[in-house]
Amino acid sequence: MDFTPDDGAATAAGLAADVLGRTAGEEDDQVWSALGKAGLLALPVPADLGGEGLGFAEVAAVLTELGRAAPPAVAMSGYATLAMGVLPVDRFGSARQRAGLLADVATGALRLTAAVHEPSAPLAGVPATTATPEAGGWTLTGVKTNVPDAADAHRVLVPAATYSGAELFLVDPGADGVTLTETRTSSGAPSYTMRLSGVAVGDDAVLASSSAGDAHAALRRYVLAGAVALGAGIVAGALSLTTGHLAARTQFGRPLATFQAVAQQAADVYITARTLRLVADTACWKLATGREADADLGVAAYWLASEAPKALATCHHLHGGTGVDIDYPLHRFSSLCKDLTHFVGGAGHRLGELGVPAGGV
């Protein structure tokens, strides 16, 4: 198979790389603003709402570049807003929901996120959070964990169990009954535990789907696909930094890269990076083209959780003492990799999920 990106994805990746290169070292808000001004946040937004009307292939290309070069908070914000917010809202939202949210996402003025995890249940297929019907709306009760960017998001997509199955609800993180507790992450990217205590939402807060659970299943697929695209960029960025270090650093009058043992370890990281990119591209391509992607998403997510942390550990080892300095750029990659691995549930969880459809239970 030929997974060479089409012109749209290649252009999106090149533009993202250019913007991130020009804004390196700037504050997170400045980088986010630059992404918006460049039109990168508008890629999946419909044309009638000020966007480009493109799909997941272009989003995946941008996420890979965010993993390769963006500050961790910006990378996770992009992941949350584009993969976990815009795509499901555009696909399942009403005209009013789409118009009220997506136009401002395109400019960078508004962020979205999703609360897909629950205590001891990463990407819970059957949410313990409940939605009880009330006159003209619903009451939500439950606990969500590891919600990225929740405090800065305009709306949080909250999966909750109803009498007919799991549905997605648009919840204002500042609404009565919502409590956000910030939780520490390895990279410093903001993440929260979200408690919902009888949170009232209207019927217009529900994302419609042809049958109960469809929107929730699609969200779970977007979460995994976005994670592996972002992870592919993280490992590629760490490898590039490491090979540059090995070529420039000398020992006994020779570049470290010329030592056989060093070259072999760098080759192991290269194999991991290329394999992760292959499985990520396969899964994202199938999802973007409407093909059955669950099996590929499961394999890609397991490879990310199992092999990416090992590759980053090797990169640190190859840097020697430089690799333990948290001010050195490699720390950005390894800490973000830890957060992303945790976000998809870890290697053991992903292995156990390989026999379960990504969108199923």
Q: Are residues 154 and 56 in the same domain?
A: no
Whether 302 is covered by a domain: the verdict is yes
Helix, strand, coil distribution of the chain in percent, nearest 5: 55, 15, 25
Whether 359 is covered by a domain: the verdict is no
Q: Are residues 71 and 149 in the same domain?
A: no
Q: Are residues 157 and 264 in the same domain?
A: no
pLDDT in tens, 249-272: 988 989 999 999 999 999 999 999
pLDDT of residue 1: 58
Q: Are residues 344 and 268 in the same domain?
A: yes
Whether 138 is covered by a domain: the verdict is yes
Q: Are residues 243 and 292 in the same domain?
A: yes
Share of the chain above pLDDT 70, in %: 96
Whether 219 is covered by a domain: the verdict is yes
Whether 185 is covered by a domain: the verdict is yes
Mean pLDDT, rounded, of the chain: 94
Q: Are residues 222 and 282 in the same domain?
A: yes
**Last-in-domain residue among 207, 234, 266:** 207
Q: Are residues 148 and 104 in the same domain?
A: no
Question: Which residues lie closer than 8 Å to 59 by C-beta, 6 or more apart?
Answer: 43, 44, 82, 83, 86, 87, 226, 229
Q: Are residues 256 and 267 in the same domain?
A: yes
Amino acid 8 reads G
CATH number for position 103: 1.10.540.10
Residue 217's Cβ-side half-sphere holds a number of Cα atoms within 13 Å equal to 17
**Last-in-domain residue among 156, 180, 207:** 207
Quick check: 361 pLDDT over 60? Answer: no
Whether 361 is covered by a domain: the verdict is no
Q: Are residues 129 and 188 in the same domain?
A: yes
Whether 348 is covered by a domain: the verdict is yes
Q: Determine the structural domain holding residue 129 and report its residue range.
A: 114-207
Both tokens assigned to 114: 């999703």
pLDDT in tens, 208-238: 876 767 999 999 999 999 999 999 999 999 9
CATH number for position 157: 2.40.110.10
Domain count, the chain: 3
Q: What is the DSSP letter of 118?
A: B
Quick check: 357 pLDDT over 60? Answer: yes
Under 8 Å between Cβ of 204 and 303? no
Q: Are residues 125 and 60 in the same domain?
A: no
pLDDT in tens, 287-318: 999 999 999 999 999 999 999 999 999 999 99
**Last-in-domain residue among 150, 182, 207:** 207
Nearest to 228 by CA among 341, 80, 94: 341
Question: Quick one: pLDDT band at residue 2, thresholds 50, 70, 90?
Answer: low
Whether 307 is covered by a domain: the verdict is yes
Q: Are residues 221 and 307 in the same domain?
A: yes
Q: Are residues 154 and 37 in the same domain?
A: no
